[in-house]
Amino acid sequence: MKILIVGGVAGGASAAARLRRLSEEHEIIMFERGQYISFANCGLPYHIGGVIKDRDVLLVQTVEGMKSRFNIDVRVNTEVEKINVEEKKIIAKDLKTGTTYEESFDKILLSPGAEVFVPPVKGADSPRAFILRNMKDMDKIIAHVKKNNVKKAVVVGAGFIGIEIAENFVELDMQTTVVEFADQVLAPVDAEIAAQVHQNMKDHDVELLLGHGVTEIVDGDTRSTVKIAKAGEKEASVEVEAEIIILAAGVRPETKLAVDAGCEIHPRFGIKVDEYMRTNVKDIYAVGDAVTVKNYMNGQEINIPLAWPANRQGRLVADTMLDRPNKQPYNGTMGTSILKAFDYTVGATGLNEKSLQRAGLVYGKDYLTITVNRNSNAGYYPGATPLTLKLIFTPEGKILGAQGIGSKGVDKRIDVIATAIKGGINVIDLQDVELAYAPPFNSAKDPVNILGYYAENVLNGDVKLVRYNEVEALVEAGTHELLDIRTADERELGFIPGSKHIDLAELRGRISELDKEKTYIVYCQVGLRGYVAYRMLVNLGYKAINLDGGYKLWEPTSLDQCNIGIFEGTEATEFHHTENTPFVDAKLIGEERTFGNVQTIELDACGLACPGPIMKTRKTMEDLNPGDILQIKSSELGFRKDIKTWAEKTGHKFLSAKVEDGIVVAQVQKLDQGNCGNFSMPNGSTEGVKVVESTKNKQTMVVFSGDMDKVLASFIIANGALAMGKEVTMFFTFWGLNALRKENFVNNNKSFIDKMFGMMMPKGPNKLKLSNMNMGGMGTLMMKKVMNDKNVETLPSLMKMFFDNGGKIIACDMSVDVMGFSHDELIDEVEYGGVAAFLGESEDSFSTLFI
């Protein structure tokens, strides 16, 4: 038998190899229009960004390899132009010579893939506009970027390929604008998951225009102007300059050959095939991006252009073409997909909520959703990073789909759920999926198991949920009130406006503050404590609902999703993505302590909460010489920005910060203040080395209060100011002096009144009480535990850090006297002074805080 294959990449090459493995009898000829077969199209964006350095690794199989290993006649640079069904012949054109010839066949497989959809806008044929489908496209993009030293890019479309290209352009220090017609990126996931990607892209200084489309591209001498209008409007409202424009607005099946051959075609989704990948025309088969598939979840026709289906179909169709007795049908595509989007991994399987709503299904009636926020592995094991999973299921417990986002562990959970769907596992049975556990890999209850437990609670009515997007309307209606049951620390970092705050630890004791007529929307950080509070309230006769996914899910949706105009007034040549400044080879750090004339030191600040990593950075920097490089690791994602600000404020050179496996790795070079001439950068240049001078470099604080939380806050700010290179003086007066008392000091020379007064007041930092909710000392103990759990430094250690870093404390002499203290009763590091000493210090200060 003579078998022809059109298309030599995913589907075509898979089928060809399988055909040969099954039989040596048949003649197999594979035609490929491009220069290469079996290349890794999925790797193309990463070679553009330099992440995949070696171009050759993208060429998974060569023409010679296909010939020698499989005896397949591969004809590259050859386009199949026509299929003559009657005569069972094709017309092929050698694209190098221009000659055409005929080739007969017994059976033919079409795997021509999908072409890039180019939006029908004026100027889309600009020499600065590119698509990315194959090696040739990739080479063209790289050549254009290099030749023109491209620094400004517009990416049209925020699907998988658009996002991957944007990420890689940012890696190349290009100012990148992403324009997307929909109001979110990444169609496979729902808005609340996409919102996290939006915020992360904004953090990476990508300009994001959602709900916008390109209307025209106008070429200038060195740049093109990309005109952009709001979706649905014709008039452009935004103009962005670009030196390169990538058109990544989607793909559509290549169907021309099939149409000409009389194959039945779906107008949108491509060549129609049966479950054995047979077209309606005898002996013509089709697979991959070009075909209409059955959606595994609902049986509807769809086109899902992904590599897994193409490869799977390629294998199955070989069995069918050889008419093997045990040939298997293709069961449909679930759309399991994943990508790296900046710091996140985003994955999805099955149906998303948008598609259910489009189909007219109603939340609460036809389907339910739950969201869990967990860690990728045991939280106490280094390197654990947060993970969000959304599960969609029917009230009967059938799993409809799942989505996940996080730095690590998303792939595993999405794959487990995809397997569960294929296995017909019920949502509650997810509890019973026994998954491998050890702290570096997982928790004893995997997030997938937690989804099962959570779903059971929902289905049993043990918890009633409210969604992130329902809150506003319910509160506005006046029937519901928001109740934040997180700790004060957590609330400090942000809360839902209008919410009442009662820490879960106090809720029972303060329950009388709640109104039984109202329904409380209870929320915590991730949804778990909210459930505990919900149960408490309901059991005590109150009405409540729990915010699914907690504050963590709600917050990114409440922020601006776009950041139009962020590059206005900036020069693209100045744009340095924080993650892409030269990174000193980590191998040199620690072992080989010198690199050129530069010493490199590693600092591990993982597990420390803010401002711990900055404090440690400052301390370590003090011991380095100008020119030395400090590499710091922190598990706080916010450190990526903090370290840059710190370096800029303190006059050191920020080199780079990147996130590796969810851990921020940053490099800062110590500068000799005001002098950059006596050392050079690793590459020998001193470019960009400058010293930032501050005219008012002092911070003064008056600590009047003796409340533990207030003194604690004072020292956190004071240490932060020290870390920013400021001189800090704290002036302690009245009740604040209690924080400075020695714990075990006894003064027998005091008068009776002074002794009594002294006994009634706390002795030293360990004995201070909370300003609020002290609850006979319980609140204070609980606060200390929370601080410990969250790796927040204790007050004594913050005080020690303060002195170690050169901070100064002046005790108000007058207050010391009034309070009946003696000098030796207070800690030795303290200096004494009066108002004049304080005013002298404050005069040069940037600001003075009164606490």
Residues of the shown chain interacting with ligand FAD in the complex, contacts defined by CB under 6 A: 6-7, 9-12, 31-34, 41-42, 44-45, 79-80, 111-113, 132-134, 161, 254, 257, 288-290, 305-308, 310
Q: Evaluate whether 287 touches 313 at the Cβ level (below 8 Å).
A: yes
Instruction: Pick the closer one to ligand FAD by CB: 243 or 254.
Output: 254
Residue 241 — φ and ψ, nearest 5°?
Answer: -80, 140
Residue whose CB is nearest to ligand FAD in the complex, by number: 288
Instruction: Pick the closer one to ligand FAD by CB: 111 or 631.
Output: 111
Catalytic residue selected from 524, 606, 610, 812:
610
Q: What is the layout of strands, in order, in the sheet containing 265-266?
A: 265-266, 270-272, 291-294, 301-302
Q: Which of 274, 270, 269 is nearest to 257 (CA)?
A: 270
Q: Which of 458, 477, 469, 529 is nearest to 496 (CA)?
A: 469
Instruction: Pick the closer one to ligand FAD by CB: 45 or 527.
Output: 45
Q: Look-up: residue for tokens 């026994």?
A: 434
Q: Is 610 a catalytic residue?
A: yes
Instruction: Give one DSSP letter per residue of 416-478, joined into a string.
Output: HHHHHHHTT-BGGGGGG------TTT--SS-HHHHHHHHHHHHHTTSS-EE-TTTHHHHHHTT
Residue 243 — φ and ψ, nearest 5°?
Answer: -100, -15
Burial (CB count within 10 angstroms: exposed 0-12, middle 13-18, buried 19+), residue 824? exposed
Q: Which of 494, 562, 566, 549 is nearest to 198 (CA)?
A: 562
Instruction: Pick the closer one to ligand FAD by CB: 94 or 456.
Output: 94
Instruction: Give one DSSP letter per residue of 289-356, joined into a string.
Output: GGEEEEBTTT--EE----HHHHHHHHHHHHHHHTT-TT------B---EEEEETTEEEEEEE--HHHH
How far is residue 157's CA from residue 177's CA, in Å, rounded to a whole number? Answer: 10
Q: What is the layout of strands, in order, in the sheet containing 465-466?
A: 465-466, 543-547, 519-523, 480-484, 500-501
**Packed helices 410-422 and 447-459: angle between N→C axes, nearest 10 degrees:** 50
Ranges of beta strands (E only) in 55-110 are: 73-75, 78-84, 89-94, 100-104, 107-110
Q: Look-up: residue for tokens 């909210």?
A: 530
How far is residue 780's CA from residue 772's CA, in Å, rounded to a whole number? Answer: 9
Beta partners for residue 59, in sequence order: 39
**SS3 call for 825:** helix
Nearest approach in angstroms of CB 421 to ligand FAD is 18
Per DSSP, 122 falls in state B
How far is residue 566's CA from residue 158's CA, in Å, rounded to a whole number? Answer: 18
Nearest approach in angstroms of CB 110 to ligand FAD is 8
Work out the widest C-alpha separation in the chain, in whole angstroms. Answer: 118
Per DSSP, 203 falls in state H
How far is residue 439's CA from residue 1's CA, in Å, rounded to a whole number? Answer: 56
How far is residue 229's CA from residue 529's CA, in Å, rounded to a whole number? Answer: 44
Nearest approach in angstroms of CB 33 to ligand FAD is 4
CB under 8 Å to 363, separation ≥6 — which residues?
353, 357, 369, 467
Q: Evaluate whether 335 touches 32 at the Cβ level (below 8 Å).
A: no
Per DSSP, 746 falls in state -
CB under 8 Å to 65, separation ≥6 — which residues?
none
**Packed helices 708-723 and 795-804: angle between N→C axes, nearest 10 degrees:** 30
Per DSSP, 695 falls in state S
CB under 8 Å to 333, separation ≥6 — which residues?
293, 294, 295, 296, 302, 304, 306, 309
Nearest approach in angstroms of CB 134 to ligand FAD is 6
How far is residue 141's CA from residue 132's CA, in Å, rounded to a whole number? Answer: 8
Alpha-carbon dihedral 704, 709, 715, 716, rounded to 10 degrees:
-140
Measured in residues, the chain has a length of 851
- Active-site residue list: 610
